[in-house]
């Protein structure tokens, strides 16, 4: 797939993924653009161990985290604008997300990728099935099993 096709096929999915992370349209647009720029420059490094969409989401996530680190470093975050209740909720959400990612890291394929695509990529079961060359029903069943595995492992932690 050439670069233009890559962009046309995955732009909205990557943008949606980043929007979930950033919760800000301008930031999501900027990171999405940087993601495709980075993908074009590092295309040869993609080893094909995951789908192109998963690879693009990994780039986007890293760029988002880099932007957050940069904000923190240069003090762009206005600490007075965040109420104590918001800070507590954010910390709880971050702790929960960390636990989920720890569990996902140990999850076997295809459960790991299907869960990522559904939850973080917000893809439909139809699109997930298409990515894997399977049916929509296969994607539903695999996601359901992945969710159960995540819940079981979260309960163990």
If asked whether residues 32 and 54 sit together in one domain, one would say yes
Local confidence band at 1 (pLDDT 50, 70, 90 cut-offs): low
CATH number at residue 23: 1.10.1740.10
Q: Quote the domain boundaries for residue 137.
A: 83-157
**22, 62 Cβ separation under 8 angstroms:** no
If asked whether residues 90 and 152 sit together in one domain, one would say yes
If asked whether residues 90 and 73 sit together in one domain, one would say no
According to the model, what pLDDT value does residue 94 have?
66
Sequence-distant (6+) residues with CB within 8 A of 6 are 36, 39, 52, 56
The separation between the first and the last C-alpha atoms of the chain, rounded to the nearest angstrom, is 41
If asked whether residues 71 and 103 sit together in one domain, one would say no
Local confidence band at 33 (pLDDT 50, 70, 90 cut-offs): very high
85-134 pLDDT tens trace: 444 454 456 667 777 777 877 888 888 888 888 887 778 888 888 888 99
Domain boundary among 14, 49, 77: 77
Number of separate domains in the chain: 2
If asked whether residues 92 and 68 sit together in one domain, one would say no
Q: What does the block give as tokens for 70?
A: 């940069």
Local confidence band at 138 (pLDDT 50, 70, 90 cut-offs): very high
The three-class DSSP label of residue 109 is coil
Q: In terms of pLDDT, which residue wins out, 33 or 52?
A: 33
If asked whether residues 46 and 118 sit together in one domain, one would say no
Domain boundary among 77, 104, 134: 77
In angstroms, rounded to a whole number, what is the distance separating the alpha carbons of residues 49 and 112? 13
Give backbone dihedrals phi and psi of 41, rounded to 5 degrees, phi first.
Answer: -75, -20
Local confidence band at 34 (pLDDT 50, 70, 90 cut-offs): very high
Neighbours of 118 (CB within 10 A): 21
Highest mean pLDDT among 52-56, 70-74, 141-145: 141-145
If asked whether residues 7 and 73 sit together in one domain, one would say yes
Domain boundary among 20, 43, 77: 77
If asked whether residues 69 and 100 sit together in one domain, one would say no
- 10 Å CB burial of residue 116 (0-12, 13-18, 19+) is buried
If asked whether residues 67 and 87 sit together in one domain, one would say no
If asked whether residues 46 and 70 sit together in one domain, one would say yes
């Amino acid at each position: 797939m050439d670069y233009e096709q890559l962009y046309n096929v995955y732009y909205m999915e990557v943008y949606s993924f980043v929007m979930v992370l950033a919760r800000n349209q301008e930031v999501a647009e900027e990171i999405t653009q940087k993601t495709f720029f980075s993908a074009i420059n590092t295309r040869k490094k993609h080893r094909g161990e995951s789908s192109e969409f998963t690879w693009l989401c990994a780039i986007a996530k890293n760029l988002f985290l880099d932007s957050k680190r940069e904000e923190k470093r240069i003090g762009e975050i206005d600490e007075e604008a965040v109420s104590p209740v918001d800070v507590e909720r954010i910390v709880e959400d971050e702790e929960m997300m960390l636990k989920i990612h720890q569990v996902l890291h140990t999850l076997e394929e295809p459960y790991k990728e299907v869960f990522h695509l559904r939850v973080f990529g917000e893809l439909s079961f139809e699109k997930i099935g298409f990515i894997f060359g399977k049916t929509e029903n296969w994607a539903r069943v695999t996601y359901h099993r992945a969710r159960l595995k995540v819940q079981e492992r979260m309960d163990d932690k």
